[in-house]
Homo-oligomer: A and B are copies of this chain.
């Protein structure tokens, strides 16, 4: 094939991911050329500050403070790397209406407006891709779309938030408490000054919405995903997890059961022998079960300048390679937006194993009374750990249940809390057995 004219990129924003993208385009120039038989050139970049010194090799004249120079200028593909919903959403819309292909790393926009944007892209006969919005450098969306077409997915489990995974790993490996681990993460740049969107599970829920929409072929609204963050995880929970052969992770889970999909973001006990248990610090991973391929795990860097830039660049390459092809190249093809193929009901019965940690006064008959309340509520117990006294006359009492519905667990605990010898209920955490 002969060399074609360079493909022209307009970039919105010049932060960490954008500079990673530009640097990769420089040092892997030959590799990119070999893949697409043409060069990529950056024609316009929207920035706030024209005078800021930047660690990339772009000529000064590409920078502009006027978004219209990017959106209406001489560009083939618009790369949206501003983040946040507004004005990124409006810019993407304008770009698609101008018949420009769009690549974005913006999970918030795709999780909330993906459907509309995908239809707009189709209407304008251009592509909308967003590999970098989930799992950073891990090519999970494009692999599901391109290389696992032969599968219906039964479940998708992800460790999709590097900040919380870093915090939990530090608590597990270095015995830090939650507050110390957050400070450590902030110091190293793995957590923001206000870490709430990470530690409360919002970030993971956005990503699960995008990932599960693609895997299950059905629009999953982020508002349908119940979420629980990691702020209540104690040093004690971490220690019990280790003692019982588990690691605690913030898990994003989508499980198909007959005509229902159960979705949630929650802390979970993961068996130490499970591949997701070894995903440490800022790494991410996605663990899928397909009805043909069986179990599959993809593991890699969930954030960072170069890994995320790598995902953005692969979307750009995909667009350039397939620009003239009628094959449906949108990530969104079966994803957030687009044709609803399946018609599964989103539910959340929470039929799971649970870890329950409570504090009781140490006297005869306590365990028996509690166990019979569980039994009465159809909750059977898989294991019980009773530790030494707390110093006063209370003892911690830890249960792992067999699979039970969450409403039965809650009903049992409501009764159990009424016992005068139960002085506190510390934690309830899902124990994930990946069934």
Contact = CB atoms under 8 A, between A and B. Distances in A.
A146 B146 contact: yes
Contacts of A310: 148, 150-151, 290, 292-293
Interface string A285-309: 1000011111111111100101101
This chain: copies in complex: 2
A85 interface: no
A79 interface: no
A143 interface: yes
Most buried by B among A35, A148, A292: A292
Given A31-B150, A31-B152, A150-B28, A137 B294 contact: yes
Contact of A297 (B36, B295, B297): B297
Contact of A325 (B34, B279, B304, B327): B327
Contacts of A294: 137, 300-301, 304, 306-307
A317 interface: yes
Given A278-B278, A327-B325, A314 B27 contact: no
Nearest to A309: B292
B290 A295 contact: no
A271 B18 CA distance: 35
In the A-B complex, list the 6 residue pairs whose CB atoms are closest, starting with the nearest.
A139-B147, A292-B310, A150-B313, A297-B299, A137-B293, A296-B300
Given A28-B150, A150-B313, A325-B327, 4 more contacts: A28-B291, A32-B150, A147-B318, A285-B297
25 contacts: A1-B326, A24-B292, A28-B150, A28-B292, A31-B149, A31-B151, A31-B152, A34-B217, A137-B296, A142-B146, A147-B147, A150-B309, A150-B310, A150-B313, A275-B278, A278-B278, A293-B300, A293-B301, A293-B306, A293-B310, A293-B311, A294-B301, A296-B299, A297-B300, A322-B325
